[in-house]
Structure 1
Amino acid sequence: MKAFTALMHREFIEHKGAFFLGPMLLLAVLFGLTILAFTVGRVDVHLSGALFTVAPLIIYEMGFFGLGFAWSLYLAVTLFFYCADGFAADKRNNAMLFWKSMPVTDFKILLSKLTAAVTILPGVVFGLALLSGVLLFGVAFATMSINGTASVGTLGAIAGIYGNVALTLFTALIAALLWYLPVMALVGAIAAAIGRWAIPIALLLPTLISTLEWVTLGGLHPFATNTWRFLQYRLAVPQTDYVDTWFAAAETATSGRLGVPRFDGVAASGEVLASLDWTQIGIGIVFALAAIYLASEYRRRVNDN
């Protein structure tokens, strides 16, 4: 267990530039731009404070969701390149010889990389996303304080909103990691076998598989096959009606035409979990473990030879 923990810690150390230092730099830039916008008069604090009051803090809710969506895009891209590159990093820096000298199997090494990809690495980015929400939290309360509309009740309302949105973002992150686990494992397995060429191959693989079905079994075109329809379903982002309905109501509320109920993080999180195809997730976990195992066996045999 200690060896496995050490392997995961190694993954964080080797990739902290993408998963910690880079996001910290982005967060610092965001903070600097926010301070600059208010200090040079680009944002009217009295107007923005009144807007927070008129729109029942919907602006803060939507802003926090927007930051969460932006961080999720960053995380998705970073995890893809991590799986496409990190699983082959041992070959380039000769670290494989060191790990081969220890009682650590190739399967455990690759499994530690996949585990890091769904735990500590996205966890660090999510923590920084929460920190950016605190930044937005401070801006919202500061503008209302300057406008004279802030109160202890308002502070509690903002804290409640923060908790509800953070809970929903956390649930969505867990759901996405479970849903896309087989994709990350497949990209990592390809990288373990062929190195950095896994990036273009992973991008083209769905089209190649669909084209193979079209050539062998027929169809209108390569994008009208059972394989392509399954891939579209399996690669689609899990969505819920609650969040979509609330966003539509919130956009209407900001125009002053209609009120909107406070966002309920528990209800939204429940819908996120209920919308998942848990059978497919179970199959995906088995597929991911099988892909990592096959890649480890290939790596072991190639290196031994």
Structure 2
Amino acid sequence: MKTMIYLLRREFWEHKGMFLWTPLASASAMLLVFVLPVIFGKTLLKERHFARIASMRDHTALVGDVLARVYMMFTGPILAVMAFIIFFYCLGCLYDDRRDRSILFWKSLPVSDVETVLSKLLTACVVVPVIFLLIGTAMSFIMMVIVSIGLATQDVYLFKDLLLNKTLYLSPLQVFGMLPVYVLWALPSLGWLLLVSSWARSKVFLWAIGVPLMSLLLLTMAQTIQFQSLDVSWFADLIVGRGLGGIVPGSWVHFEHIPYETAFRPGTNGVDFGAVLSISWNTLSSPQIWWGVLAATLMFYMTIRLRRWREAE
């Protein structure tokens, strides 16, 4: 257990810029964009915007409820950045060890290949998402406060309604509750990226995206030229999509063909994160996710074997 903790610390300190400073910089940029309308409200906002704000004065409870339901959606851009960070981290983590010959040092230590690969997997599917979610949640809360302050300058006071709204406190917990579902859906993508990182001798990015896309292109050409009855949509969705897009948060909505309308509270404009959480956990009954977990397990096994055989480049 102590060995794994030290390995996770190593991954964090070696990639601190990706894991910590990148989300902080992204959150700071978004906060700056939100602060500007508050500081220069009369300059940036048009007259019709002030008219809409004035109409909220008699409906503060409704406005507060909507804001409490949607403020966690501000984490969307941060989670999009997280997907890119995880993608490039997984591609480089095992390849870089061979390229800079640090693999020789780590192989001289009493640390098994299983522990090394598992530490990189846990970093990608647990450590990084938790860091990004914490920063995204803090940023979303600050944005909500900025919006409330901006409305207060126009005599629309929401703080009382917000603080008494239980959704304000439940939404972050519900978003964090989707993390185990995200991990399971992301495993095939993580397995593929780590496998390429441990196998490729160069140009890992081209190998990672080139192999599935070229396979899809060849199947599409075969369907067009000779096999008219061949259906390649399943390959594009279940193989290419799961292999490259599983690290995108909420990708299971696409893979399971879940209507987007189910995420919204009936009769309002607010997002029902409770419904989203329930729908997300219900996808665990799908055979698709467990076939993906099985495929990921095989890829992790191959990754460990390749790391054992591969020497420094």
Please classify the TM superposition score into its range, dividing by the shorter chain length: 0.7 to 0.9
**2:23 paired with 1:23:** yes
- Would you say the 8 A contact 1:164–1:264 is kept in 2? no
**2:131 paired with 1:102:** no
* CA 1:210–1:5: 2 relative to 1, 3 Å: same
* CA 1:85–1:152: 2 relative to 1, 3 Å: closer
Deviations 1:51-89 (A, max 9, x none): 484653365257525422222211111111111112212
Partner of 1:230: 238
- Would you say the 8 A contact 2:74–2:136 is kept in 1? yes
* CA 1:47–1:245: 2 relative to 1, 3 Å: same
Structure 2: which amino acid aligns with 1:140? V
Output the TM-score relative to the length of structure 2: 0.79
Deviations 1:187-243 (A, max 9, x none): 111111115522122212223334566788963398736533533674572228686
CA–CA separation in structure 2 for the residues paired with 1:220 and 1:292:
36
- Would you say the 8 A contact 1:144–1:150 is kept in 2? yes
- Would you say the 8 A contact 1:45–1:146 is kept in 2? no
Give 1:49 shift. Answer: 7.4
Partner of 1:255: none
Partner of 1:301: 309
Deviations 1:21-78 (A, max 9, x none): 0111122222233223211223578964754846533652575254222222111111
- Would you say the 8 A contact 1:167–1:265 is kept in 2? no
* CA 1:45–1:295: 2 relative to 1, 3 Å: same
CA–CA separation in structure 1 for the residues paired with 2:77 and 2:92:
23
Partner of 2:12: 12
Q: Single out whichever of 227-236 and 273-282 deviates more from structure 2.
A: 227-236
- Would you say the 8 A contact 1:85–1:195 is kept in 2? no
* CA 1:219–1:58: 2 relative to 1, 3 Å: farther
Aligned partner of 2:274 among 244, 257, 266? 266
Q: Once the two structures are aligned, what percentage of the paired residues are identical?
A: 20
Secondary structure in 2 aligned to 1:220?
coil
Q: Single out whichever of 225-234 and 122-131 deviates more from structure 2.
A: 225-234
Secondary structure in 1 aligned to 2:252?
coil
Aligned partner of 1:112 among 99, 114, 119? 119
CA–CA separation in structure 2 for the residues paired with 1:261 and 1:60:
10
- Would you say the 8 A contact 1:190–1:198 is kept in 2? yes
- Would you say the 8 A contact 2:64–2:158 is kept in 1? no
Partner of 1:244: 261
* CA 1:219–1:270: 2 relative to 1, 3 Å: same
CA–CA separation in structure 1 for the residues paired with 2:276 and 2:84:
25
Question: Which runs of no fewer than 5 residues in structure 2 stay unpaired?
Answer: none
Q: Single out whichever of 7-16 and 122-131 deviates more from structure 2.
A: 7-16
Partner of 1:40: 40
Partner of 1:187: 193
Aligned partner of 1:150 among 149, 157, 162? 157
Q: Single out whichever of 263-272 and 291-300 deviates more from structure 2.
A: 263-272
CA–CA separation in structure 2 for the residues paired with 1:247 and 1:216:
42
Output the TM-score relative to the length of structure 1: 0.80
Structure 2: which amino acid aligns with 1:114? L
CA–CA separation in structure 2 for the residues paired with 1:15 and 1:195:
22
* CA 1:66–1:14: 2 relative to 1, 3 Å: same
* CA 1:20–1:190: 2 relative to 1, 3 Å: same
Q: Single out whichever of 279-288 and 50-59 deviates more from structure 2.
A: 50-59
Partner of 2:184: 178
**2:95 paired with 1:88:** yes
Q: Single out whichever of 291-300 and 273-282 deviates more from structure 2.
A: 273-282
Partner of 2:212: 206
Question: Which runs of no fewer than 5 residues in structure 1 stay unpaired?
Answer: 250-258
Give 1:296 shift. Answer: 2.1
Q: Single out whichever of 15-24 and 286-295 deviates more from structure 2.
A: 286-295
